[in-house]
Amino acid sequence: MSKWAGKHVIGLTGNIGTGKSVVRKMLEHLGAYGIDADVLSHRAISKGAPGYQQVVDMFGRWILNSDGEIDRAKLGQLVFSNPDALIILETIVHPLINQALDMLVRRSTQQVIVIEAVKLFETPLHEWCDSIWVTYLPQETQITRLMKKRGMSLEEIQKRLESQSEQEQKVKDANFVIYNDGEYEETWKQVVAAWNAMFPGVEPEQAESVIEDFGEPGEELRSVRGKPSNAQDIAELINNIAPNAEQPVTKSDVLEAFGEKAFILLKKGKAPVGLIGWQIENLVARTTDILIDSSIYVDEALPKLLTEMEKSSIDLQCEVSLVFVNDEIASYASLWDLMGYKQKTPKQLGVAAWQEAAQEHMETGLILYFKQLRQDRVLRPI
């Protein structure tokens, strides 16, 4: 039984590389509020945060980088090759993660919460959950994906796997098992089936929030939340606005993108005329895709799309909004000022979690706009 009254808490776990984050995103598309406990652990030891000094005192200043932040790669090499060091680190970090989880769950407006944690069963966290979901992959596939997608060496992967409990035992203890070795659509069907089994009579399409029309009745432009069932429409919109003759975007491409991000569609009547794609990780909203048909005024469309993105992001407790744009869209300087955004570099953001989120998506030729959505922060410096 969940420790949080009025909430149904899903504990989502699985060994490294089994697709936990993709399944969490799918549950978010169905209406759940997602929390990545493993990412919260990064916040807990960032510079100035509650666990920072404890970790430095315990392991030494050699784990710091030139900015004074803890170099997680160095720390990982140490703890994943030394079980005693890993236990010490977890003793410092886990109580802080639990405090942050408690705050996030209590102030969330959603009734279904999904907490992703690689070490769910190894901590009291699993006892706080109403149901346990496990993602599973055959180990050979697991290793192949980690080498291909994360560039990890076989030695590094083996160390990580040895530090985690056996997949088979997790499967035995699960209420639902998601076999994530097929295409995105196959995984999506499993997630929807499990959702329907938990919440009979609540259709997934109903669980997803639909953004209402903007402004006064009679306005032509409106925004709606994109759903996986809209994948074909989104693919066609992308191909119409930004065609790539060599490799057109397919429905499967869009479905796969739903494993990482959400979409808001801009419609004129029934016709899609624009979209934004954005993702929320570590309480940071990152808008990385903005497409607006040439027949639509940017200064009319962009505020509508971003305002709704912000509303959704605030509802999901995001601290900041980061928007990555090209020169053309950045040229609307007065529009960005009106919307409360400031042009920044990742370095200027100050907070480690915000900087990391910005650096992860900052590509040559892109311009970053920043807006703070809330003042209170999780695991803020003390």
- Check pLDDT > 80 for residue 212: no
Summarize the confidence of residues 51-75 as an average pLDDT.
Answer: 91
Tell which residue, 191, 230, 192, 196, has the closest CA to residue 210. Answer: 230
Q: Which CATH superfamily is domain 210-372 in?
A: Gcn5-related N-acetyltransferase (GNAT) (3.40.630.30)
Classify domain 8-198 at the CATH class level: alpha beta
pLDDT band at 153 (very low <50, low <70, confident <90, very high): confident
pLDDT tens per residue, range 44-55: 998 888 899 999
Structure tokens at 214: 């903007």
Q: What band does 221 get if pLDDT is binned at 50, 70 and 90?
A: confident
Confidence band of 381 (pLDDT split at 50, 70, 90): very low
Comparing 267 with 165, the larger pLDDT belongs to 267
- Of 126, 118, 108, 97, give the one whose Cα is nearest residue 1: 126
C-alpha–C-alpha distance, residues 325 and 131, integer Å: 40
Share of the chain above pLDDT 90, in %: 58
> What are the tokens at 90?
């977890």
> Residue 95: exposed, middle, or buried by beta-carbon count in 10 A (0-12, 13-18, 19+)?
middle
pLDDT band at 265 (very low <50, low <70, confident <90, very high): very high
What angle, rounded to 10 degrees, do the helices at 72-79 and 52-59 form?
A: 50
* Residues whose CB falls within 8 Å of the CB of residue 333, separated by 6 or more in sequence, listed in order: none
Q: Where are the domains of the chain?
A: 8-198, 210-372
Contacts for 132 with CB less than 8 Å, ≥ 6 apart = 10, 11, 13, 120, 126, 173, 174, 175, 176
Q: What is the mean pLDDT of the chain?
A: 88
Work out the pLDDT band at 220, boundaries 50, 70, 90.
Answer: confident
Q: What is the pTM of this model?
A: 0.84
Q: Render pLDDT for 270-309 as a digit per residue (tens, 0 to 9).
A: 889 999 999 998 899 999 999 999 999 999 999 999 999 9
Higher-confidence residue of 185 and 133: namely 133
- pLDDT band of residue 325 (cuts 50, 70, 90) is very high
How confident is the model over 95-131, as pLDDT tens digits?
999 999 999 999 999 999 999 998 899 888 899 999 9
What is the spatial distance between Cα 158 and Cα 17, in angstroms, rounded to a whole number?
12
**Mean pLDDT of the region 341-347:** 95
CA dihedral (163, 168, 174, 177) in degrees, to 10, reads 110
- 204 falls in which pLDDT band (50, 70, 90)? low
Name the least confident of 232-246, 280-294, 331-345: 232-246
